[in-house]
Amino acid sequence: MESRTLAYDDGRGAFRLPGTAAGDTVAVRFTVPDGSTLDEAYFMVTGAEPFGLWVLGAEAGGSPGAALYPLDGSPLVVGPSPAKGINHVHVDLRSAALNVSGDFFLAMQWLTQPGTGTLKLGMDGSEPDGRTWIRQGDTWSDIESLPDYPALDAIIRATVQVPVGSLAPDPVVVTNYGPECVDVRSAGAGPTEQGLRAAGRLTPSVGPFRVDQLRIQAVGKEDLGVGCDATTPFKVELYRGTTELPAETPEIVQTLDVAITQTDGDPLHGFRLDLATPIVLAAGESLFVAVQMNRVGDKSVCVSMCKSPSTAGTDFWSMATEPPYQWAHLGDVDVNGVNNLDIELVGEVVAGD
């Protein structure tokens, strides 16, 4: 058996879903091979209030079914959480010895009447997978079928033991921060900063590594940054390198022009950018991903940043609009200090020559 964590979200949780009444429940459908066991449930929430956890079976039509755990008619009470901000809640379920096969659901239930500043569940609006369901009253509905809700993935994950080789390997994601960011900031262009570059240095731990896709998280509206608008078109430049900072006059490997007409209403908007030609990085080689800070009127594209946890020395500000750039560490010029740009490389380790 091998341990796998199943996730259908991008981990950012920019949208927060509050309950509307005690008993409201949100569930995510997971699909596993026969002979699997459930080890852990994970929830991204804001607010410190306790909530209820259910493990549910699946009906033939794909909706949540009868309880698999607990079986006494009451949910497992989780919490309260230690902080009022973002909480990454891991619930160890190994003692329940839950065998799961095919489809099952993990669900979060509001236990008390929601109020201002109450418990909210993290939701992801980037490329939803159609696996999130919501129950209000006695009726389960696919969240995408409800007119009052955008298409979203609830940030609920399952860690399972599965037979070795029964699931396809996950793509490898390279980033400069941990998977559980608790302090989100943003980097945008001020009135005099049109055309500057914000760049992140991403270095795979093993090479050769083939980069197939970039993921860049932008601030979709002003909740997380004054003057930010993800519909502002921008350009991404890619440079190779083996040094700490990008070259003053970097050789551009690829350029991507990015533009959308509207966001999905999420405070964050995730861009998934497939490379026209994959880039293979040698062992120890880095890819610098530079976002041109563009402004249209009084609005700027803003890249989201993770302040906690973060890694120093990997993110830079060009200090000039054209080469030769005078790269500075982003933490030295940004009022928020050390932050990591929310940029990821997606690909896989490949065989060497």
**Tens of pLDDT along 136-159?**
988 999 998 888 777 789 999 999
User: End of a domain among 130, 162, 194?
Assistant: 162
Residues 83 and 148 in one domain: yes
pLDDT over 70 (residue 335) = no
pLDDT over 70 (residue 220) = no
Residue 287 within a domain: yes
pLDDT over 70 (residue 224) = no
* Residue showing tokens 């989201």: 304
User: End of a domain among 144, 162, 180?
Assistant: 162
Per the omega criterion (within 30 degrees of 0), is the bond before 128 cis? no
User: End of a domain among 121, 144, 162?
Assistant: 162
- Angstrom distance (rounded) from CA 112 to CA 312: 41
Which of 169-178, 186-195, 238-247 tops mean pLDDT? 238-247
* Total domains present in the chain: 2
- Angstrom distance (rounded) from CA 147 to CA 124: 17
The model's pTM is: 0.82
- Angstrom distance (rounded) from CA 342 to CA 315: 10
Residues 146, 23: contact at Cβ < 8 Å?
no
- Angstrom distance (rounded) from CA 46 to CA 71: 28
pLDDT, tens digit, 9 for 90 and up, residues 47-100: 888 999 999 999 998 999 999 999 999 999 998 887 766 788 999 999 999 999
CATH code of residue 320: 2.60.120
Domain encompassing residue 250: 172-349
Residues ≥6 apart with Cβ < 8 Å to 30 = 6, 100, 103, 104, 105, 106, 131, 158, 160
Residue 62 within a domain: yes
Residues 321 and 194 in one domain: yes
Residues 84 and 125 in one domain: yes
Residues 87 and 182 in one domain: no
At residue 144, φ and ψ (nearest 5 deg) are -70, -15
